[in-house]
Amino acid sequence: MAANIARVNAHDAPAVPPALTQLADDERLLLDSVYEFASREIRPLVRGMDEHGAIAPGLIAKLFEIGVMGIEIPESYGGGGARFFHSILAVEALSRVDPSIGVLVDVQNTLVVNALLRWGTDEQKARYLPRLAGDTVGAYALSEAGSGSDAFALTTRAIEKDGHWVLSGRKLWITNANEANVFIVFATINPEAGYRGITAFLVERGTTGFSIGKKEDKLGIRASSTCELLFDGCAVPAANVLGEVGRGYKTAIETLNEGRIGIGAQMVGLAQGALDHAVGYTKERRQFGHPLAEFQAVQHQLARAAMDVHTARVLVYEAARLRDAQRPFLTEAAMCKLFASEAAERVSSLAVNLFGGNGFVKDYPVEKLYRDAKIGQIYEGTSNLQLQTIAKQLLS
């Protein structure tokens, strides 16, 4: 694992939850180290970032410094040379403190870096992987106004001209857009060909004809930027096609299946963070002369929340380990994303309830986690799409 991550005072990290006792030593070290970093460096910034809808200056540089922005990038390119499972652990640990930072790191690793590792040419890897490991944020641009769940109904066009591809169109809801300098953009070279016309392109910020549009004002994960991308005659070199022309649908499908495990990890971290707050508060808050934690009704609610978190974590870890073992994981990815997102909403809602009136105000942390949880059932495949995926595999 990257030495930078190991330097983050792992000996001061809290005891790991029971579900994590079977982690290998390097996995446990990474989880504890990243969580300790998040508690020290990110937690004091969470409320301000949420209110301003932006990541605090200097924080992204620190994420690169500890090595979590290029976990799977080979060491020869300056990365950690670790496994997909390590990326999942980092996303979980960060999201336990702030899911906005968790998704920044998730998109970087499970979508952008993974797509380049699998589909990039040697020249593309040499050009982009050292940057993504060192100081450059990436973004993944698939969604459009008319192609959310129906991802392949996209209308952004790519026309070949004079050795370049010229992109025209508009992307919506692109995570990391404000911070990114490298974008994987999906466009169709032939609308009549349906999904077989879709092609992936590597587009850099500053390319003529490419601009960042409106930043969305969101319910939750507000520090994470979500913006539209505008392409108006944007000329992209032919060497920047990622994968094969007309085979971008394969790049999108396979990468998103991995990305869903990342969102599952984000939701596990969020749920664990909400449970942490709820347990701590009920031990301190007194009613009728006793701490809330002494009331059986409260104990039973916390017990069910703990089962939710544990089950979600097991599903996420199983899917991630299957992926690393190069075994089929489509169903498991859908299951973990679906269950973890629903569990995160339940556990964060319970935390708000147990905090009482304090849970409804911004002076306490749980109302933010409750707002953050909602997106888990929407992005990278809605809950209905995950159910459809599971059912299709079950009945095939």
Domain boundary among 72, 106, 137: 137
* Residue 357 CB neighbours (<10 A): 7
Tell me what the mean pLDDT of segment 143-162 comes to: 88
If asked whether residues 121 and 179 sit together in one domain, one would say no
Residue type, 14: P
User: What residues are labeled active site?
Assistant: 380
If asked whether residues 7 and 72 sit together in one domain, one would say yes
At 166, which CATH number? 2.40.110.10
**3-state class (DSSP) for residue 214:** strand
Domain boundary among 81, 109, 137: 137
Q: How confident is the model at residue 4 (pLDDT cuts 50, 70, 90)?
A: low
If asked whether residues 192 and 76 sit together in one domain, one would say no
CA angle, residues 172, 348, 341, in degrees to nearest 5: 50
If asked whether residues 41 and 55 sit together in one domain, one would say yes
Reply yes or no on whether the pLDDT at 6 is more than 90: no
Q: Per residue in 301-346, pLDDT tens?
A: 999 999 999 999 999 999 999 999 999 999 999 999 999 999 999 9
If asked whether residues 133 and 192 sit together in one domain, one would say no
If asked whether residues 112 and 239 sit together in one domain, one would say no
If asked whether residues 15 and 107 sit together in one domain, one would say yes
Count Cβ neighbours within 10 Å for each residue of 223-235 and write b for 16 or more, e otherwise: bbbbbbbbbeebe
Is the pTM of the predicted complex or chain greater than 0.85? yes
Domain boundary among 86, 109, 137: 137
**Candidate from 12-16, 81-85, 172-176, 348-352 with smallest mean pLDDT:** 12-16
Tell me what the mean pLDDT of segment 127-133 comes to: 98
Reply yes or no on whether the pLDDT at 23 is more than 60: yes
At 285, which CATH number? 1.20.140.10
Reply yes or no on whether the pLDDT at 14 is more than 60: no
Q: Which domain holds residue 20?
A: 3-137
The residue that leads in pLDDT, 149 or 321, is 321
- Whether 373 and 270 have beta carbons less than 8 Å apart is answered as yes
If asked whether residues 268 and 227 sit together in one domain, one would say no
If asked whether residues 181 and 213 sit together in one domain, one would say yes
CA angle, residues 160, 163, 165, in degrees to nearest 5: 35
If asked whether residues 126 and 156 sit together in one domain, one would say no
Reply yes or no on whether the pLDDT at 18 is more than 60: no
Number of structural domains, the chain? Answer: 3
Whole-number mean pLDDT of the chain? 94
CA quadruple 141, 143, 149, 154: dihedral positive or negative?
negative
Give residue 12's pLDDT: 40
At 90, which CATH number? 1.10.540.10
If asked whether residues 128 and 8 sit together in one domain, one would say yes
